[in-house]
Structure 1
Amino acid sequence: MRLKATVFLCGAAVMVVEVLSSRLLAPIYGNSLFVWTSLISVVLAALSLGYYRGGIFADENPSPKKLSEVILYAAFFVALMPYITVFLGTILKNVAGFKAGSLVTSVVALFMPSYFLGMVTPFALKIKINALEKTGRTAGNLIALSTIGSIIGTLATGFILIPYIGVTSIVYGTSLLLLAISIYIGGRDVSLILMVLASVVYLSIRVTSTSPLAFGENNSTHVLLAKDTPYEYLQVTDNQAANGTTRLLALGSLFQGGIRMPSNTSFYEYVDYYNLAWLYKPQIRNILVLGCGSGAGPKELARLHPNATIDVVDIDPEVLAAAEKYFGLTGNDRINLIEKDARMYLSDSDKKYDLIILDIYGGTHAIPFHLTTKQMAQSIKDHLTEKGVFAAEIVSALSGEEGLMFRSEYKTYREVFGPLDVFYFTSNDTNQRSTIITFTTRDGGLGKERLILSAEKTDVGLNSSDVLKKINTLYEGEVQLDDVPVLTDDYAPVDSLIAPMTSRT
C-alpha cells in the first residue's frame, strides 16, 4: 500500500511541478508557445533519463530506504525552483534572449526535480516485483497509478490550487509533501531530512518575502495587489515619479493599462485615439470593448461620450474585479462587465455595435492566436452596425522583423474589411515603443482628407488641435505584405511573428 501511495503522489507531483513551472516563468518570459515547448521538452527529457537511471539503481539496491532518498532529493530540488527561476531567468532574459533564456532556465530549474521524480516508478516496480510473482500485472498497476496521479495532479493544479493558492505556496507545499513521502516510505537519515526541511523553510521565507514573481516593492513602487489568476499573474502597483503617481495593472511581466493619480485619467496615450471613431461614425451609441486591462479606455469613453453604452468583455474575472476595485471601472446601466472569452462572446451574441475595439495586443509575450485570425475579423464585422467602426491597438513596428505581427494582422484585416487607416506613433508611456491603432468600417477606412473634413464638424470629445495632431499620425505609406501570411484558425504562427519583439523586451 505504501508503494502504491508513493507512486500515485509522485506521479501527481510531476504534473504539479510542470504546470507550476509555467507560472514561475510567465512573469519573466510570458506564457507563449516557446515557453511551453521548453517546459514540456525538459520534463520529458528528465523523466526519460530518470526512468533509465532509476531502473539501473533499483537493480543495484531495490530498498525502500534508497527510494526515500530519491524522493528526498526531488523535494530539495522542487524547493529550489522559484529561486532559480527568478534570479537565473532575469539574468538570462537579458543575456541569452527570449527563446534561449526560457529554455536554459527551464533546464536548470526543472530538470533535476523531474529527473528524481522519474526514478520513483522504476524503483517501486523493482521493490514490488521482488515480493510478487505477477510481474506484468504489477508493472501495469504501478504505471497506471502513476499516470492517474499525474492526471489528478494536473486537474488539481489548474482547477483548484492555482486559482486559490499562490504559486510559491504550492511549490513549497509540494516539496514538503515529497519530504513527508520520503519519511513515510522508509527514510531513516534524520540529519539529511532535517537539512532538506531547513532548506525548504529558508527558501520559502526568502523567496516569498521578496515577491520574486512580482515587480516587487521599493521606494517608488507600492504593490496593492499581487495574485495568480486562472490565466495570468496579476499585479496592481502605485508608482511614484517626479511628475506624479501612476497606478498600473500588469499581467505577467508586462503592464496592460493604468491611470494617473489623482486625476484618474488614462496613463496610456493610445486610449485617446479611440475617440477618433466618432470621425467615422458621429452617432455611436453601442460600444464593445474586447479586453479590459485596467479599464481606463472604457472609463474614458463613458466619460467623454455620455450617450454611449459600453460592453466590456474579458476572460479573466480577476482582471475585471481589479479594474473595478482599483481603477474605478464600475459596472452600471452604461457599462456592462462581461466575463467571457472574446471570441466566444461574439459567437454567442447577436448584438450589433456601432464601435468594436479589440484591445488584447498590449503584451508581446503571448497573444491569443484565436483572436488574431481572419475568422475572428469576420465575426467582428458581422457584429457591426451599418457604417460601424472597428479599432484595434497593436504594439509593434511598421516594417522589418519587428513589424511581422502588425503586417500579418494588417493583411488579415484588409481581406475582411478592405482599406485600413493606420495611426502610428511613439510615446513615453510605452518606453519609446511604437503603438499602432488601426481603424476601419464595414466599407473600409476614410483616409486623411476625409478625416480632416469630418473633424471640422464632429465633436469627438477632444480639443480640435489634439484631434488634428492625432490625424497627422496617419501612416500613408505602403505596408509590406509579400512576406507575411494571412492569419487563419488553421495557420496563425503568432508566437513566431512576435518573437523579434520579445527578444528585446
Structure 2
Amino acid sequence: MSQRSLADRVTVPEVAVFVSGVVSMGIEILVGRVVAPEFGSSIFVWGSIIGVSLTALSVGYHYGGRRADEQATPGKIVRLLVYTAVYIGGLVWVGDPLLAAASTIPLPDRFASLPAVVAYLAVPTYILGFFSPYAAELLDAETVGGASGHVYAVGTIGSIVGAFGTTFVLIPAFATVTIELLFALLLLGTAFAISLTTTSGVDRHKTVTVVCAVSMLTVAPVAAPGAVDVVEEETGGIPGDTIHETQTQYQKLEIADRRGVRTMYLNGQPQSAMDLDDPYRHVFDYSRYMHLPFLFADDPDEIDRVLFVGGGGFTGPKHFVHEYDVTVDVAEVDPAVVRAGKQYFDVEESANLSIHTVGGRQYLQETETEYDLVVVDAFKKDQVPFQLTTREFMELAKERLSDDGILYMNVISAPSGSASQFYRAEYRTMETSFPHVYSFPTYGSGSHVQNIELVATKDPGVVTQSELTARNRDRDVGIDLADEIEPYRASEETGDVPVLRDDYAPVDEMLNEMAGRQYVVEGAPGMNATAGA
C-alpha cells in the first residue's frame, strides 16, 4: 500500500490552528517590544500583555465553541484568517499613533500600558481563539476528546514555533513593522492556500481578490518607507538628526546628532553622549562622578584593573583609558550596542581596553580576574536590570574586588520623597555587603528623579567629605571634582525599604513611583526626559 505525502495528510483545520498558534504567540512577544519604548518592560507591562492575551483567547475559545456547530467551514476559516491579517496589517499603518493615543489615557502608573496592550493585542488574539474549536469541529476524529487533544497539540506546537521564531530569529533580524507585515502575510498566504485546496464554502475568485488587495495594502508602508516616516514624524521622537536606528535583540537603539553632540538612546532614553569637537568632554554631568573612586582609594595608583558593567557609548571606559594607567574590561550584553560604540563613538579595543559581549553578572560569575574597581552603569530604559541590584550580586562583585576594592553604581531615582524608594533600597542592599556606602545625588537633594552615584568600599575606615576635598586638592586625577564632592552623603534612612534579594526584589514596584516624573539629565540641551514614560 502506497504512503500518502505530507501534503495529503495535513488537513485544513490542522494548518489553520498551527498558523494561529504561531501568530498568537509571536504577536504577544512582539507587543512587548512595541510598547517598551513608551512604557518600559517591567513586570506590570508583561503582566498586562499575558493577561490581555489569555483573556482575549479565552473569549475567542468560548464564542468560537458556541458557533462551531453551525459556522465551522473552511470558508469561514479563510475569512477569519483574512480578518486577523487585516488588523495586524493595519498596525503597520496606525500602530504608532495608536500607541501615542493610548499613552495619554490617565491611569495609575502600573496600569498605564494596559490600553496600548489592549489596542494592539485584544482583537487579533480574540479572532485567533476561534480556530481551535472550529478545527476540532472539522477534524475527522472518532471522539470529541481525540479531536480536542489533537487540536491543542497542533496549536501548542505552533505557539512554540511562534515563541522561539519571534524571539531568536525575527526580532534580532527585523524591525517591528516588518515582523507585523510578515505575520499578516503568513495569515494571508494560509488563507490563499486553503482557498486553492478546498471547495467547501470558499468562493475562490473572491478570496483571491481580497487576499491580493489586503496584501498590497499591508506591504505598502514597508515598500514605501515614506508612509511610515510621516507617522513617526507626527508622533514625535528623539531630538536631533537620527544617523542610526535599529531594533536590537534587547532594545531599540537610536543615535542622533544635535548641536554638535552625538547621543545614544536605548528605548528612547538618553544613555551616552559625545561632543563631536571634544570627544573627551563630559557631556552628561553625572559621568564626571565616575572619577570619585580615585579619591576614595588610599592610593589612586592602586586602581590598576577596572571593570565596567554596561557599555552604552563607552564614555567611562574611554576616559579611563585616556586619562589613567589602567586596564579596562567592559561587559556589554548587547552586540549591537558594541558595534554602534565602535562605529559612532570612537571606541577602539586595545591592550588596555577589552570588550566582552556578555551580561555583567554572567561575566563576574565566569571571570577569575580580580578588579580594583567595578563600575555598574547598565540600564534597561531608566532601570538598572533587576539581576544587578540584589544582595547576591553585591556579594559576587565583592568577591571579584581586591582587598581595597571599590564598587561604584549609577542608579536613577530620587534622593528623597516617594520616588526615592529604589535608591534607598539599593543603598541598604549595598550596606549588607560593604562596610561603608556613600552616595552623591547629581541634581540636588530634593525629590527630582536623577542619577545618583553610589560608592561602596571594602576598606573599614570612613572617608569623610573633608578628606575627599583635601585629596581632590592634592591629587592629580585629571579632573576637578570639587562640585561632585559637595552632595556627599555617608548615611541614609533605610528602615522602611527592603534588602533586595534574588528571591524578593520589588524593583518594578519601587520604580513605579517614578513614572511620569521628569528625569533630569544634566548636560547637553534638550536631554531631559520623563522617567517611566
TM-based fold match above 0.5: yes
Call closer, same or farther: CA 1:213–1:301 in 2, change over 3 Å.
farther
The residue number in structure 1 matching 2:168 is 159
On the 8 A contact 2:422/2:507 being kept in 1, the answer is: yes
1:102 aligns with 2:108: no
Contact 1:391–1:438 (CA under 8 A) maintained in structure 2: yes
Task: Tell me whether 1:319 sits opposite 2:337 in the alignment.
Answer: yes
Matched, 1:402 2:416: no
The separation in 2 between residues aligned to 1:237 and 1:317, in whole angstroms, is 19
Query: Distance between the aligned counterparts of 2:237 and 2:424, measured in 1?
Result: 38
Letter of the 2:165 counterpart: A
Matched, 1:123 2:139: no
How far the C-alpha of 1:327 sits from its partner, in A, is 0.4
Tell me which amino acid in the other structure corresponds to 1:99: R
Could you say which residue in structure 2 is the equivalent of 1:252? Answer: 267
Q: Deviations over 1:377-415 (max 9, x none)?
A: 111111111211211111211112111110100010111
Counterpart in the other structure of 1:471: 485
Other-structure match for 1:489: 502
Q: Give the whole-Å Cα distance in 1 for the aligned partners of 2:160 and 2:374.
A: 40
1:405-460 Cα distance to aligned partner (Å, 9 max, x none): 10100010111112222111229xxxx74221111211255120221222232111
Letter in 2 for 1:436: I
1:315-354 matches, cutoff 5 A: 315-354=333-372
SS at match of 2:498: coil
Task: Write out aligned runs for 1:44-55 (5 A).
Answer: 44-55=54-65
Corresponding letter in the other structure for 1:416:
S
Q: Which runs of 5+ in 2 are unaligned?
A: 1-9, 196-201, 518-529
The answer to whether the 8 A contact 1:360-1:367 is kept is: yes
TM-score for the superposition, normalised by structure 1: 0.91
- For 2:404, the equivalent position in structure 1 comes to 387
Query: Shift of residue 137 of structure 1?
Result: 2.3
For 1:285, give the aligned amino acid: D
Q: Structure 1 residues 291 and 215 mapped into 2: Cα distance closer, same or farther (>3 Å)?
A: farther
Aligned to 1:273: 289
Q: Choose which of 289, 292, 310 in structure 1 pairs with 2:328.
A: 310
Q: Measure how far apart 1:80 and its partner are.
A: 2.8
Q: Deviations over 1:309-346 (max 9, x none)?
A: 10011111111111111101111111000011111111
Cα separation, 2, equivalents of 1:41 and 1:192: 33
Residue type of the alignment partner of 1:256: Q
State the one-letter code of the partner of 1:298.
Answer: P
Change (3 A) 1:217 1:419: closer
Identity of paired residues, percent? Answer: 30
Distance 1:211 1:225, change over 3 A: farther
Provide the C-alpha distance between the structure 2 equivalents of 1:222 and 1:288, rounded to a whole number of angstroms.
33
Give runs of aligned pairs for residues 86-485 of structure 1, distance below 5 A.
86-96=96-106, 98-128=109-139, 131-186=140-195, 187-188=202-203, 189-190=206-207, 192-204=210-222, 205=224, 208-210=228-230, 212=232, 221-239=240-258, 244-264=259-279, 265-281=281-297, 282-283=300-301, 284-305=303-324, 307-361=325-379, 363-364=381-382, 366-426=383-443, 433-443=449-459, 446-462=463-479, 466-475=480-489, 479-485=492-498
Q: Tell me the CA shift for residue 132 of structure 1.
A: 4.2
Question: Offset of 1:27 from its aligned partner?
Answer: 1.5
Q: Deviations over 1:459-480 (max 9, x none)?
A: 1111xxx32222112136x522
Contact kept, 8 Å, 1:396 with 1:402, in 2: the verdict is yes
Specify whether residues 83 and 447 from structure 1 end up closer, same or farther in structure 2 by C-alpha distance, changes over 3 A only.
farther
CA distance in 2, matches of 1:261, 1:96: 40
2:81 match: 71
**Aligned with 1:235: secondary structure?**
strand
Which secondary structure state, in structure 1, belongs to the residue aligned with residue 492 of structure 2? Answer: coil
Indicate how the Cα distance of structure 1 residues 207 and 119 shifts in structure 2: closer, same or farther if over 3 A, else same. farther
Residues 1:338 and 1:16: Cα distance change in structure 2 (over 3 Å): same
